[in-house]
A and B are shown apart, each in its own frame.
Chain A
Amino acid sequence: MTALSLQGDLWMGEQPLIRNLLLDMPTGQCSCLLGASGIGKSTIARLVAGLDGSHHLDGTLRASDNLPLAGRVALMAQGGQLLPWADLVQNVTIGAKLRGERPDTARARALLAQVGLEGLEHRRPAQLSGGQCQRVALARVLIEDRPIVVLDEPFSALDTLTRLAMQDLAAQLLMGRTVILITHDPLEAIRLSDRAWRLSPDGAEPIVLPGSPTPRDYRAPQVLGAQAALLARLQQDMT
């Protein structure tokens, strides 16, 4: 299994984004990065996923086994990763096809059933709701079966109840993987993460989380307390 550590200064072109980052993201746990929009959260997602961009890290991004990260990270983003012209099975198996491998359609069907889309395999994304689309994206992440999963605000476009349901589903299905969750939603951070940081241009400040196992009940007093404290902290940043 793979833990990740990221340290150094993050740059966007000539502009410093975040200085003195020091993130230790443990194996098989969910590490959450929280912060205002534009702070550089998605840039970290792209950095870890190895995607192109004008960002660069003046520092190190390392897996605990010292092997390169390429091919070991799956990314799930806010939306738009589904192919509008393809049905759900094809959408889930696109990774294999893009690599020139034989797509495992049986496994794609099984995973679609697991994310609650049984019977909809022949639909296209336009015939699904926003929450269902993110279920397809989740099934695609699962079929890739990579040890590290980056979730870049995956549920931010969903309504509150759908979002809660998707958080539970993701927590259940991604258990055991090293997950990096990027979000601006304090409740999401507190429900799902084992470790969490609040990002600011000066670095990453650890967030105090309840001790209970994830996904945490949004009604639990500790969760509500932590959410209130975090909101207050974020509000301080604004002023």
Chain B
Amino acid sequence: MSALNFGIVRALLAGVVAITLWQVLVWATDIPHFILPGPARVALSLWTNAPLLWEHAQFTLFNLLTGMAAGISLGIVTALNLALSPGARLLLRPMLVFAQAVPVFALAPILTLWLGYGAASKTVIVMLVIYFPITSSYFDGLMRLPAPLTDLAQQMQASPIRRLYLLQIPHARPALFSGLRLAVVYAPFAVIIGEWVGSSRGLGYLMLMANGRGQTDLMFAALMVLAAMSLILFGLVERLAKERGPV
């Protein structure tokens, strides 16, 4: 059996065990379904509310993807600029450190105030949340060119831009992937927070609405869809890292 298949089998097995435990917990404790619905009830809700979930999931996924695309590209561009220009390092780095100290989630209400209830505020929150991990891990990777390669660049009289392109960028690829891994973990958080703070669509909105109406099973169903989305994103990054990441 290949490693990939084995991984899938293991994940499925873990899933089955978790669902069984969940069902056992619900049966054993007799928790009311509006507090903790059992897996069967959630599955039923997933099935009956599929069109509703799909509609809201599309909005969330769109925000997630645009925010990630913006955050990743902005992070990469910033890191490259920092690596290339000592002047930029002098100016931007303290700003980055300061900005990192601000909990971006706390900006969500302000961003909603400024950008409204639509997609823009969510995109920006996701972008801001993943921007720092991407920038700092990629920048670190770019700056940590091993001494023998630094010597090589100097010996071959490489210009800073060729040194960046031919040595630093390939060397920093694993670091970029560790930034990407963090980004896929943070981004779903960020998009949901954005939708909780103010939205008329999306899985976050749906969860709040379901909560208000006591439809705990729908809340859980939305959570499942979000978890599936995160897992798929994470899997994609892992796969990309396996193909392109090492060295």
User: Majority SS of interface residues in chain B?
Assistant: helix
Q: Say yes or no: is A124 at the interface (Cβ < 8 Å to chain B).
A: yes
Docked complex: A87-109 residues within 8 A CB-CB of B: 94-95, 97-100
Docked complex: B134-193 residues within 8 A CB-CB of A: 146-149, 151-159, 162-163, 166-167, 170-171, 173
* Contacts known (A51-B151, A81-B149); A98 close to B157, Cβ less than 8 A: yes
Instruction: Please name 8 further chain A to chain B contacts, defined as beta carbons within 8 Å, in addition to the given A94-B166, A98-B158, A98-B162, sorted by A numbering.
Output: A51-B155, A75-B151, A75-B155, A77-B151, A80-B147, A85-B170, A85-B173, A95-B155
- Minimum CB–CB distance from B171 to chain A (whole Å) comes to 8
**Residue of chain B at shortest CB distance from A79:** B148
Q: Are B151 and A100 in contact (CB under 8 A)?
A: no
Provide a sorted-by-A list of 30 A–B residue pairs whose CB atoms are within 8 angstroms.
A49-B155, A50-B154, A50-B155, A71-B157, A73-B155, A75-B151, A77-B148, A80-B146, A80-B147, A80-B148, A80-B149, A81-B148, A81-B149, A81-B151, A85-B171, A85-B247, A86-B170, A94-B152, A94-B156, A97-B162, A97-B166, A98-B153, A98-B157, A98-B158, A98-B163, A98-B166, A99-B157, A100-B159, A124-B247, A126-B247
- B147: chain A residues at CB < 8 Å are 80
Q: Are B247 and A74 in contact (CB under 8 A)?
A: no
- B173: chain A residues at CB < 8 Å are 85
- B152: chain A residues at CB < 8 Å are 81, 94, 98
Range of interface residues on B (Cβ < 8 Å): 20 to 34
The docked-state distance in angstroms from the alpha carbon of A85 to that of B245 is 10
Docked complex: A56-77 residues within 8 A CB-CB of B: 70-71, 73-75, 77
